[in-house]
Amino acid sequence: MKSAQMLLLVALLAIGMGCGYSKPATTPPAPGTTPHVTQLNPSSATSGGAAFALEVDGTSFAGDAFVNFNGKQTPTSVTATKIMVNIPAPAIMNSGTVAVTVTNPGKPGGVYGGGTSDATSTPMNFTIN
């Protein structure tokens, strides 16, 4: 009887190993919704000037979107079509052009992956005179 139980156990282990069990497949993140910048107000500033409020107009802004202006800038308010952000004085110390973009952060997926990846708008130039 004992050898029959042992034989059954070995057979079950062999079948289990032969099934090819592996970790569940993960799904890569899908592209996030890409925001679009249509206008900056103001569109320029004087180098060495004071901090100022920048209005970024466009479409498809997520509630947790942020503005890239000489580094990541956290908005003071966000709607689907308008972002208000305070630009600090050190961000406009040097004259030139700043490429301003908006990023919608990605969302994590579940146990099997998925979610969305970050999506960043095409840049719009801001001039520092």
Domain contains 107: yes
Q: Write down the mean pLDDT value for the chain.
A: 89
Domain contains 36: yes
**CATH at 74:** 2.60.40.10
Chain-centre distance for alpha carbon 6: 55
Q: pTM of the full predicted structure?
A: 0.77
Domain count along the chain? 1
Cis peptide before 35 (omega within 30 of 0): no
Task: In whole angstroms, give the CA distance from residue 127 to residue 3.
Answer: 85
Residues 6+ apart with CB under 8 A from 67: 54, 56, 73, 75, 83, 85, 100, 101, 102
Lowest-confidence region among 3-12, 37-46, 68-77, 91-100: 3-12
User: How much is the pLDDT for 4?
Assistant: 73
Q: Which tens digit of pLDDT belongs to each residue from 89-100?
A: 999 999 999 999
| Local structure of 100: helix, strand or coil | strand
Question: What is the extent of the structural domain holding 56?
Answer: 27-128
User: How much is the pLDDT for 13?
Assistant: 64
Q: Which tens digit of pLDDT belongs to each residue from 25-62?
A: 667 788 889 999 999 999 999 999 999 999 999 999 99
As a whole-number percent, the residues of the chain with pLDDT over 90 amount to 67
